[in-house]
Amino acid sequence: MSEFRIEKDSMGDVQVPAQAYYGAQTQRAVENFPVSGWPLHKDLIHAMGIVKYACGVANRDLMKLQDTGKVRLNAKQIDAMLAAAKEVAAGKFDGEFPIDVFQTGSGTSSNMNANEVIANRAIEILGGDRFSKDKPVHPNDHVNMGQSTNDTFPTAIHVAVAVSIRKTLIPALKRFEDVLSRKAKEWDKIIKIGRTHLADATPLRLGQEFGGFARQLTLSIERAERALTSVLELPVGGTAVGSGINTHPEFGHRVAESVAGETGIPFVEAVNHFEGNAQRDGLVECHGELKAIATTLFNVSNNIRWLGSGPRCGFYEIKLPDRQPGSSIMPGKVNPVMCESMMQVCARVIGNDGCLTLSGAAGGNFQLNIMMPVMGQTTLESIMLLTGATNAFVEFCAEEMEANEEACVASVEKSLSMVTSLNPHIGYEKASALAKEAFKSGKTIRELCTEQKILPEDVLEAALDPFSMTEPQA
């Protein structure tokens, strides 16, 4: 059998790998864009399958395919096309999408890739020869009916992003929130010293500190939900420029309804198709929420890294699990590798937000944004990275963290900020002088107060009770 077959499109003949399900337009794009070697994210490929399926259902239900004077398909052809789209959505043809991410800015090449794969697979399902020049299912006339790349490709991006957030990112964040909340409860009675400006501050409880981290994750979950909400409007139905030319007035609504049914996510038709086609502001907003989540995860993991520093010359208030040897030259050294991995991921996501911002602002000219493939790919990358790093951090670090109560308690009594609780008794100026004297002499605040009989013993004991300093006092 020959290594290639000849396919034809409006520009002429093209050599295509003999067994490929894609055709001429896909092959042209493969040859035109040998840029990164990065194919489309698999979630976007699957979303294109979902969208093509929904478009086929809408066309069937609107009876457009049977209208006199228009392209006609029988029920078997329609069913075969829908079955093929379902297979793409299920990931059975991921290897048939070879086009580089950095392609035509509308995503036309990838849209045609999907059309060609679905058409040829539908022919095969019908028992026909997908290599024949006489094709009973046509990529443009049938699979792409009522559509343009300009409305279906951004629709697929929105679907892929929303599904990925719902299925992967939100569960990962909830898992992390749960672990931090449990640690907060377990460590609620452990007193430690607070730090502001990386300098000693008043006492708090280790559980309170981790309760603050847990709240950061709660807010991150809310941000992820807002990120999902920002991409619920689907541009499909606007076709080339937003006018809806060559499609039924109900097409967009029906497709959105079908996609919602397939995914369980409440997608809706774009309120204004000219905005829906031309602007990707919703995607920029979505990634802005992802950037905020990355900022939180960086902060939490970095704080945990600091708290676990040591073991002898750092804080070492929590014990991080040993994951691997930390040095090629220093025997026995163990590093906070999971924290570092998370921080790198977050840095990447924060950087990705610049790509989304520039693409949304400068790439949308008149009726079309021409930066869509990189916007979709980058957003999906950010979701994937945040999900993977969060799950790994929970499994290999957060779950196994232990409190070092001895180190926590030891630092409290040494802190000069213990003097803060004496302000109501002796005033700020005298308390400040006491702190300076304690630092100079190397003595604790308690020792100096006892020596100098600053307060009656029972009053001093109550005032310097670390636990009472961790809550408001009446």
3-class state of residue 166 by DSSP: helix
Number of Cβ within a 10 Å radius of residue 262: 19
What lies within 8 Å, CB to CB, of 413 at 6+ separation is 444, 446, 466
Q: Is residue 94 within 8 Å of residue 48, measured between CB atoms?
A: no
- Per 3-state DSSP, what percentage of the chain is helix, strand, and coil (rounded to 5)? 60, 10, 30
Question: How many CA within 13 A on the CB side of residue 180?
Answer: 24
Q: Which of the residues 327, 432, 441, 468 is marked catalytic?
A: 327
Instruction: Say which residue the tokens 């050294």 belong to.
Output: 333
Query: What is the C-alpha radius of gyration for the chain, rounded to an integer number of angstroms?
Result: 30
Question: How many CA within 13 A on the CB side of residue 23?
Answer: 26
Q: Is residue 254 within 8 Å of residue 62, measured between CB atoms?
A: yes
Instruction: Say which residue the tokens 């040859």 belong to.
Output: 31
Cβ-in-10-Å burial (0-12, 13-18, 19+) of 381 comes to middle
Q: Which of the residues 2, 10, 132, 197 is marked catalytic?
A: 197
Q: Is residue 207 within 8 Å of residue 401, measured between CB atoms?
A: no
3-class state of residue 348 by DSSP: helix
Q: Is residue 422 within 8 Å of residue 463, measured between CB atoms?
A: yes
Main-chain phi, psi angles of 237, to 5 degrees: 110, -15
Number of Cβ within a 10 Å radius of residue 225: 15
What lies within 8 Å, CB to CB, of 130 at 6+ separation is 21, 120, 121, 123, 124
Query: Rounded to an integer, what distance in angstroms lies between the CA atom of residue 168 and that of residue 158?
Result: 15
Q: Is 248 a catalytic residue?
A: no
Nearest-5° angle of CA 288, CA 180, CA 321? 110
List, as own/partner pairs, every contact residues 427-432 make where C-beta atoms lie below 8 angstroms and the sequence separation is at least 24, other chains included.
none
* Structure tokens belonging to residue 22: 């894609």
Nearest-5° angle of CA 172, CA 177, CA 181? 150
Query: Rounded to an integer, what distance in angstroms lies between the CA atom of residue 46 and that of residue 114?
Result: 10
Q: Is 273 a catalytic residue?
A: no
Q: Is residue 320 within 8 Å of residue 268, measured between CB atoms?
A: no
3-class state of residue 250 by DSSP: coil
Catalytic residues: 197, 327
